[in-house]
């Protein structure tokens, strides 16, 4: 069985605390409206296109009673674009709609992350523990951090040394939203169906084993859909 690395540092960087609170429904509605506003076959947008869309979406009441403000939309774009450039290595000032969709989905984790941060045990820098068998004073590598990018930024290093990350919460979030991630990555923007009792039992068994099931198939409305390799590649923002 192949091992997947969750880019836990993504949750540190892109979960923004804003007055506008995303829900699963508003994420799908926003991405669907954004995709429909683009020309056929177009999936990449720049900052101007995002800001124009966000303003129009807010005027139409998108997202519910609390509208997404221009300042919030600009903040989301700045963080998302920077992350996508860092991960993809492409500096063209554009973000793919599927990348934006996945990062908007991560916003659903924010309340849980903030709650767990308050309960987390603080590990002060002067009390860092060394890993048995390693050089003195070295920190144990976070199993949920991508081996390609762990500790690559000053912010990641500070987070690793000053706060205990809620690894279990991140793993649980990805497990619970694996199907939604596949749908967004393939631009299947129909409302996500309920998994059913058997799916819940299967998820519970995976939680007990600490494993993550992520295949190239989606089941919904009585049919099975295949997810192409290109769509799966977009999950590289969250899963390495």
What does the CA dihedral 156, 157, 158, 163 come to, rounded to 10 degrees? 80
Long-range contacts of 221-230 (CB under 8 A, 24+ apart): 221/190, 221/193, 225/186, 225/188, 227/182, 227/185, 227/186, 228/186
pLDDT tens, N- to C-terminus, the chain (240 residues): 567 789 988 998 899 989 999 999 999 999 999 999 999 999 999 999 999 999 999 999 988 878 899 999 999 999 999 999 999 888 899 999 999 999 999 999 964 544 554 454 434 344 333 444 444 444 344 444 444 444 454 444 444 444 557 788 899 999 999 999 999 999 999 876 554 444 545 555 554 544 445 544 444 444 455 666 777 888 989 987
> Please, what sign has the CA dihedral across residues 37, 39, 42, 45?
negative
Contact 183, 234 (CB under 8 A): no
Q: What is the per-residue pLDDT across 37-62, written as a single tens digit (0 to 9) for each?
A: 999 999 999 999 999 999 999 999 98
Question: If you compute the radius of gyration of the chain from its CA atoms, what whole number of angstroms results?
Answer: 19
Identify which of 80, 138, 147 has the alpha carbon closest to the alpha carbon of residue 107: 80
Give the pLDDT confidence score for residue 240 in this predicted structure: 79
């Amino acid at each position: 069985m192949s091992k997947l690395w969750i880019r836990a540092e993504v949750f540190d960087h892109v979960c923004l605390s804003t007055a506008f609170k995303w829900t699963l429904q508003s994420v799908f509605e926003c991405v669907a409206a954004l995709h429909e506003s683009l020309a056929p076959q177009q999936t990449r947008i720049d900052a101007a296109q995002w800001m124009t869309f966000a303003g129009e979406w807010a005027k139409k009441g998108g997202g519910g009673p609390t509208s997404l403000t221009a300042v919030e939309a600009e903040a989301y774009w700045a963080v998302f674009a920077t992350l996508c450039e860092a991960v993809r290595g492409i500096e063209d000032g554009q973000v793919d709609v599927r990348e934006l969709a996945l990062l908007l989905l991560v916003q659903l984790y924010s309340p849980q992350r903030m709650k767990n941060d308050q309960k987390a045990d603080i590990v002060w820098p002067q009390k860092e523990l060394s890993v048995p068998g390693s050089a003195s004073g070295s920190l144990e590598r976070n199993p949920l951090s991508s081996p390609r990018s762990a500790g690559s930024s000053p912010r990641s290093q500070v987070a690793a040394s000053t706060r205990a990350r809620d690894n279990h919460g991140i793993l649980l979030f990805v497990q619970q939203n694996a199907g939604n991630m596949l749908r967004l990555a393939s631009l299947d923007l129909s409302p996500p169906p309920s998994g059913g009792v058997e799916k819940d039992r299967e998820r519970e068994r995976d939680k007990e084993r600490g494993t993550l099931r992520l295949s190239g198939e989606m089941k919904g409305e009585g049919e099975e859909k295949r997810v192409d390799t290109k769509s799966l590649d977009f999950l590289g923002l969250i899963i390495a």
